[in-house]
A and B are shown apart, each in its own frame.
Chain A
């Protein structure tokens, strides 16, 4: 075992303890297997609706969340399974949500697109592109007033940066110097339309200049690079210096959703990104620094497989919602205690 990482080692290796790094790898593997499992359940007809898979983007989700604590909050996107697991959610309750079960995180009312784990600070995936960005700014306002030192990270995709909400939210966050990190996972396509075709300035981080905040572009499949960018932005936010914009360049291996026929991407392009698999790269990095050898990685994978199997079983056997409770939770009870903050303890 190395006493301490060399000075020229990547940021993640220098900054995080081996256990934390192995846990990060475990989460990335779990995300991958979770989505593969979800895909399998979907094709078996166990899950209805649709879902948006982030396979290939695991380093971005886990790396950016490395600097967050349970006190910090995130807002997520329709492609939000990775964020949810990275923030600490249980895969059993996530599957249960996909299966529309009462034991799901949203009682089966939200499904994949609204997956949330409020107790861990995940304010929810959002079905509206850029819908979560102003909400994150509002949460940051709360953080500044009610819980100084805590921060909010808002995940969104490259498609969201052309929504008005993105610009309005970044502007206000900067005007009010709010502790929020805007994390753009640039996977090159808003559904089928590439950033080159949709954005006059495809380099998302460049837009930070318009709102007087730091903007940085990182290789989203490089766990350490992502972690480093996230760390800097979170530190800046905690210090009260205001928001940052991170552009994490990555790629989704699967289509936009389950109905995508993939007409807008070439096989060569997809293969080139599969070759840059963030999990293999991170596992290799951990191996190089003696943090996790092949056996350890295999053990992590086996552990994840077991966890996924149990989680799916839990979801399958969980009870569905009572139709009589259809209108439950449309309104909060009027008799809510006076100190009811939005988020329950």
Chain B
């Protein structure tokens, strides 16, 4: 009898980044009764960026809970729920509003397990629409991920593609620790292949998106896309840039970066958060402290956000964060020994 082999590969569709997250949320809500979504206007409104979309119709208000505009209280409720058996996924309307909830994230979620001697855990997922480029100005455009990356007890990840957005979210749900997911608002409409069903992208593992020999570009979030665009242009100039998507900034996959820089001898770190005391500093330090130091053949370049609040004017807004030409200039100068 001729038995047809079952299809092992899940179907892959083109989804937007926002749809990929919604797909992940739906998978989570379907497969785990403990999962609840919380956030401001995530129900009938569908979320400020339409990420939750129609989930409230599909899963009901008990699972997709509109919260009052109470970031501190809402975050605290999520922490308490996670502490006692639920798997809340809390959406901040804008990552900037996390400032209102810092106590619950930093003092409570991150530390409860430790303070209580390992007798509890806080399996909490928080989502933060972040980044500039939407004209929302200084209080709705920040990239604060490095703040949270500084806190032991938290994990912090940033997806750069629809595929990773879904996979990282499902991995975060599997993680027994509080995981902060920073989503760049400009990526929400980006399309890409997303497998159906459940899959995970490991937290704490960087992704070498493009191999290269001349320079390593470590990037996060939307800067991965910009770095890839720059790398494509540079390839035409016989500069082969290796692009690494850090994916997770805490814990940081130092090994992948170190291995790469030891090969290419040059490093550019591209990230949207304010340059100073940010991801670039941490990646640079990782190199400086590692055996890759001996292989550095040029200074490390940090391409981060300008030391300003994000401005409203579109030209100023663009100038405040790294763009593709900035990456091109940095890499060219580095490889040609000008820097």
Contact = CB atoms under 8 A, between A and B. Distances in A.
A and B touch in the complex (CB under 8 A): yes
Interface of A: 73, 75, 104-110, 114, 116, 118-119, 123-124, 126-128, 131, 133-143, 145-147, 164-165, 167-169, 171-172, 175-176, 327-334, 336, 338, 340-344
Nearest to A180: B80
Given A141-B80, A172-B70, A330-B153, 12 more contacts: A106-B117, A134-B72, A134-B74, A134-B79, A136-B80, A138-B82, A138-B86, A141-B77, A145-B62, A169-B73, A342-B121, A343-B119
A135 B113 contact: no
Contacts of A164: 72-73
B119 A134 contact: no
B10 interface: no
Contacts of A105: 116-117, 119
A230 B62 CA distance: 28
15 contacts: A104-B117, A109-B115, A128-B103, A128-B107, A128-B108, A135-B76, A135-B80, A137-B73, A137-B76, A138-B77, A138-B86, A138-B88, A142-B83, A164-B72, A171-B73
B120 interface: yes
B113 A329 contact: yes
Contact of B119 (A73, A118, A331, A336): A118
Contacts of B85: 142, 146-147, 341-343
A80 B81 CA distance: 21
B196 interface: no
Contacts, number: 183
A266 B239 CA distance: 78
B337 to A, nearest CB: 42
B123 A342 contact: yes
Contacts of A341: 34, 84-85
Interface in B77-132: 77-86, 88, 103-104, 107-108, 112-123
Nearest to B104: A134
B73 A116 contact: no
A175 to B, nearest CB: 7
Nearest to A147: B85
Contact of B121 (A73, A127, A332): A332
A172 B117 contact: no
Nearest to A168: B73
Contacts of B220: none
B175 interface: yes
Contacts of A137: 73, 76-77, 80
A226 to B, nearest CB: 24
Contacts of A142: 80-81, 83-86
B273 to A, nearest CB: 23
Given A137-B73, A165-B72, A169-B77, A110 B104 contact: no
B70 to A, nearest CB: 4
Most chain B beta-carbon contacts within 10 A, residue among A124, A127, A138, A330 = A138
A106 B115 contact: yes
A135 B68 contact: no
Most chain A beta-carbon contacts within 10 A, residue among B62, B112, B177 = B112
Contacts of B122: 342
B205 to A, nearest CB: 12
B67 interface: yes
Most chain A beta-carbon contacts within 10 A, residue among B88, B117, B121 = B117
Contacts of B70: 168, 171-172
B116 to A, nearest CB: 5
Nearest to A154: B80
B84 A138 contact: yes
A164 B69 CA distance: 12
A138 B117 contact: no
B75 interface: yes
Contacts of A342: 82-85, 120-123
